[in-house]
A and B are shown apart, each in its own frame.
Chain A
Amino acid sequence: MNKFFINESIKINCHILNLKSRLDYNDLIKEFILKLELPTKLLVFFGSIFFILFYFIFLFFLPKDIQFKILHNIPLINKILHFYRKIILITYYEEK
């Protein structure tokens, strides 16, 4: 269940970043999150659920630039957004 929410969050962030979501580096990102200490891991799980719900209810139909702008400007949501963006960018440019 937890992996499902992490996976979906990675997909949404890759979509906003214009990067192709790939299984091999998704697995590394999932491993990274699952290896976090419990309090941080819980924050990421709950943040991911909230992020996904918010995205599909309010932003799904909007252009990517506007999606990013809105997500970036909402306190707490922007923390989980940038957490994912950071590790996705690290993984993507490691491969490239």
Chain B
Amino acid sequence: MSDFTIIGSGAGGSSAALELLENGYSVEIFEEGINYNNEKNSVLQGLMSLWRNNGINLFHGSPILNFGEGKCVGGSTIINGGVIEPTNEKILELWDNILDENFFLNDEFIKISNEIKEKLVPENQQDDDNLISSSSEILLEAAKKKNYITKSTNLAFNNLRVNHNSPFGCSDNSKNSLDKNYHIFIKNKGGTIISNSKVVDIIKKENAAEKITIENNKTKEKKEIKIKNLILSAGPTQTPKLILKNNLSNFVNNLNFHMNLKILCFYENEIESYKSSLLTHHVREFEKNGVLFMASNYIKPLIASYLNFQKSDNITEFMEVYKNGTIFNCQIQPNFSTANIKKSNLLNKVNISWNLDERDFLKIKKYLKILTELVFISGAKKILLPFENNSAISRSIDDAFNKIDTLKKKHLEITSVHAMSSCSLNNGDKNIINKFGLLKNFKNIYLMDSSIMPSNTGQHPQLTVMTMVKKLIQKNIENKKFKV
């Protein structure tokens, strides 16, 4: 029996495991997904093997929201854009206020964050403004004309000039996902990562978790495993689902997330975004309002799928000039809309629902217009707005603005990324964990992933999740909280 049993091998679980092993504890990780072996996948094969429910993970409501989440060894670090950026200091300060403790905004947190960045981002690429993908270059030139603030992005990639396929697994070793580093360190220190193992039951005795039931995803064989301490690192939707399904708490907090809205743009001449569209730079002019603009993955089959609401002749027309295109992404943090996670007692099923608040809808329209303006400044000849109707194509800025103004909520095509805070660390009455990440009313169940962030990070959270979890483990050790 290991000292710690961890559920989930993503950013939180891997970071917790390595820190525990370095402090002399034994660790085993159970991961529901497969072990990703750098195989070259088609888009559909990638979705089937690396994503939860083949990439169809819906928050019900108006409009329906699809939340993309990794389900493989390495979790979402395998399928994300590899952005390794710290959270804004103002947000860290806010979190310290929420927690009533100097945990986030201090030298130690920044030091840990820098150490993790050095492990994941190649030294010669850190904060280098000259490394730029062709799609980011187009966006940056337009942003310069408007005097918008832009900044280079630290990426967990070894080679920024590759024809990357990161959402479906990088087969060329170009990406530093956690399977390429943390998992190797974990195994070298005696930790084990067991893939294809879904936790179906957490068996409790009094105020402690005693055993977990694991089901093998291939053979469907079930076995019970005794545990000393349990760490839930299954991610922002799966951790609260495990808690509710196993009656570890009657409620969880609302889920915060970012919304992604993509504008597909076509230019007069061929550009090379199909060769590399990594988001090497961000337009950060509106960062304080929770809005970032960036390039997005430009992969031929994905482009075709964005055109699925158009008539077949329009699809053909756009795909014929595929090499002239690129995609820009407007990542927006909603101010008022969150997702509600609730269990239906009838079927013991946990549902996630949301509704787009009118004020957030106006915010979306405002920033879609700003990105549209940038896109036309950059010389785009025609664009496809993120609408689920056939009026999405625009060939002029006036036409696009008009379409954005008259847009109905239900026709907006949004994907959700970077969900967090569903079981947030806070100091109020509505917290389900204490300041050490320990689940209330239990003495050996900890939560260590993005679900415990006090609020929305405003941007890509991988680095902050890993830093927070490492520091939380250290805090538990320093205060002699772990009992093994």
Residues in chain A within 8 A of chain B (CB atoms)? 16-19, 28-29, 31-32, 35-37, 39-40, 64-65, 68, 72, 82, 85-87, 89-94, 96
- 22 A-B contact pairs sorted by A residue (CB < 8 Å): A16-B312, A17-B315, A18-B316, A28-B42, A28-B44, A28-B45, A31-B48, A32-B44, A36-B53, A37-B53, A39-B349, A40-B53, A82-B308, A86-B305, A90-B43, A90-B44, A90-B304, A91-B42, A92-B301, A93-B304, A93-B319, A94-B42
B340 at the A/B interface (Cβ < 8 Å)?
A: no
- In the A-B complex, the 8 residue pairs with the smallest Cβ-Cβ separation, listed nearest first, are A93-B304, A89-B304, A85-B308, A90-B301, A94-B301, A18-B312, A93-B301, A86-B308
Interface pair A89/B44, CB less than 8 Å apart: no
B388 at the A/B interface (Cβ < 8 Å)?
A: yes
Interface pair A17/B303, CB less than 8 Å apart: no
Q: Pick the residue among A32, A68, A86, A93 that contacts B300 (CB under 8 A).
A: A93
Complex Cα–Cα for A10 and B23 (A)? 55
* Residues of B close to A65: CB separation below 8 A: 311
With A32-B54, A35-B54 given, is the CB distance from A17 to B300 under 8 Å?
Answer: no
Number of A-B contacts (CB under 8 A): 68
B56 at the A/B interface (Cβ < 8 Å)?
A: yes
* Residues of B close to A94: CB separation below 8 A: 42-44, 300-301
B482 at the A/B interface (Cβ < 8 Å)?
A: no
With A18-B312, A90-B301, A94-B300 given, is the CB distance from A82 to B388 under 8 Å?
Answer: yes
CB A88 to nearest CB in B, in angstroms, measures: 9
Interface size class on chain B is: 20 to 34
Q: Which chain B residue has the least Cβ–Cβ distance from A92? A: B304
With A32-B47, A72-B390, A82-B388 given, is the CB distance from A89 to B56 under 8 Å?
Answer: no
Residues in chain B within 8 A of chain A (CB atoms)? 42-45, 47-48, 53-54, 56, 300-305, 307-309, 311-313, 315-316, 319, 349, 388-390
Complex Cα–Cα for A94 and B300 (A)? 7
CB A43 to nearest CB in B, in angstroms, measures: 10
Q: Which chain A residue has the least Cβ–Cβ distance from B316? A: A18
CB A3 to nearest CB in B, in angstroms, measures: 17
CB A15 to nearest CB in B, in angstroms, measures: 10
Complex Cα–Cα for A36 and B51 (A)? 11
Interface pair A29/B307, CB less than 8 Å apart: no
Complex Cα–Cα for A82 and B63 (A)? 15
With A18-B312, A82-B309, A85-B308 given, is the CB distance from A93 to B388 under 8 Å?
Answer: no
Interface pair B44/A87, CB less than 8 Å apart: yes
Complex Cα–Cα for A64 and B312 (A)? 9
Complex Cα–Cα for A93 and B322 (A)? 11
Q: Which of B303, B312, B349 has the most CB of A within 10 A?
A: B312
CB A72 to nearest CB in B, in angstroms, measures: 7
Q: Which chain B residue has the least Cβ–Cβ distance from A44? A: B56
Complex Cα–Cα for A82 and B315 (A)? 14
Q: Which chain B residue has the least Cβ–Cβ distance from A90? A: B301
Q: Which chain B residue has the least Cβ–Cβ distance from A83? A: B56
Complex Cα–Cα for A40 and B48 (A)? 14
Interface pair B309/A89, CB less than 8 Å apart: no
Interface pair A17/B312, CB less than 8 Å apart: yes
* Residues of A close to B56: CB separation below 8 A: 36, 40
Interface pair A29/B312, CB less than 8 Å apart: no
Complex Cα–Cα for A82 and B304 (A)? 12
Complex Cα–Cα for A17 and B319 (A)? 13
Q: Pick the residue among B303, B309, B312 that contacts A93 (CB under 8 A).
A: B303
Q: Pick the residue among B305, B316, B349 that contacts A90 (CB under 8 A).
A: B305
* Residues of B close to A89: CB separation below 8 A: 301, 304-305, 307-308, 315
